[in-house]
Structure 1
């Protein structure tokens, strides 16, 4: 009897936000359990890791985009490939919070599928409580306006680092299932050459 190799689902996550908000610190903390200070990427970096999500082995593919304006023009390409987005700002920097509106609008424009796009608003650096200028209420109000979740994190103390990535993958999961169901339906179509006339199954290797 023929067997089919089961491939782990891949979740393509994009980190967006201004430079210096801690996108890389969050990514590296999640990937390697390390807190990196003053990491300034000059280009986008990609990371992949096998993790367990609610008892299922999956792969998370994280693209850490550079926050500099020089790279805004190529951000469209990154957005097209992404399935879920972490919109990160620094709670000690009001400008980084305001900058997310343009990034949010850019994601909606590029994806062109309405507002139902897996996203989480992330307020980072909450360990710097004495320097905080963006309140929880302000951030929650913005998240409600965008109908997405808001989670506060600290890359330094690792607070909620795992949570934001896992929650985003859970938000992406229903969209992946819908796509898989659509592909399965297409594979069952009578005109599909991969479908056998005797009704016996075929497999699609991705």
Structure 2
């Protein structure tokens, strides 16, 4: 019933997507992940380097395997950046609604990094304001969050990893949006099959994941 049974059935899915969680250290990225993966939430110890977890779920009638990458927000782990973003279908930018600097750092630092390192131009981004359970300490309004999300071309949601409010919805909404993007859907469906597919002659110049040309076949 736990994660072991989920792992055993990990080959039974329609699409596989990579999601990257980014944002300052301490905004609750790991707590969001734990809250989503397990039935309960607890305060996680700070992540050292990179960690990732796998979650199997059904969204929109499709069975999905989400590989969710979590990273420490500290500068000294910046060397991991390119592999962390490479091939990500979804990127979740997290800030703490009680700490304004974590919000401003999303536009001043993290959004620029996504622009620089993300290899999927079509990747779906979601802005997440965490810790809404601490409403009395709020330093960033919901309206400001919505405004920044528009500016960055992101989806937007506020949630609480502690109470689990909107956590499931956050990941499900992101997955649904990814499935609306044809290039990401195609990529997600071919993960795992790429090992057996040989590159056809004459396609060396084609970008990875590019669909074959339409028409042009011999009659």
So what's the TM-score if we normalise by structure 1?
0.81
CA deviation string 1:124-173 (max 9, x = no partner): 00000011101111111111111221100000111110111111112222
CA deviation string 1:58-101 (max 9, x = no partner): 10110011111111232122011311100000000011111112
Shift of 1:110: 1.7
CA deviation string 1:11-47 (max 9, x = no partner): 1000001011000000001001221225211121111
Equivalenced residue count is: 186
Which residue of 2 is the match for residue 130 of structure 1? 136
Residue correspondence of structure 1 range 111-190 to structure 2 within 5 A: 111=118, 116-173=122-179, 174=181, 175-177=183-185, 179=187, 185=212
Residue correspondence of structure 1 range 9-20 to structure 2 within 5 A: 9-20=15-26
Give SS of 2:132's match: coil
Which of the pair has more CA radius of gyration? 1
Shift of 1:109: 1.6
Which residue of 2 is the match for residue 71 of structure 1? 77
CA distance in 1, matches of 2:124, 2:113: 14
Identify if the C-alpha distance between structure 1 residues 155 and 6 changes in structure 2 by more than 3 Å, giving closer, same or farther. Answer: closer
Does the 8 A contact of 2:15 with 2:185 survive in 1? Answer: no
Q: Which stretch shifts more, 25-34 or 69-78? A: 69-78
Which stretches in structure 2 are left out of the alignment for 5+ residues?
1-10, 191-208
CA distance in 2, matches of 1:112, 1:14: 12
Q: Which stretch shifts more, 91-100 or 180-189? A: 180-189
So what's the TM-score if we normalise by structure 2?
0.76
Q: 2:130 aligned with 1:103, yes or no?
A: no
- In the TM superposition, structure 1's runs of 4+ consecutive aligned residues that sit over 4 Å from their partners are 178-184, 186-191
Residue correspondence of structure 1 range 25-36 to structure 2 within 5 A: 25-36=31-42
Shift of 1:113: 6.1
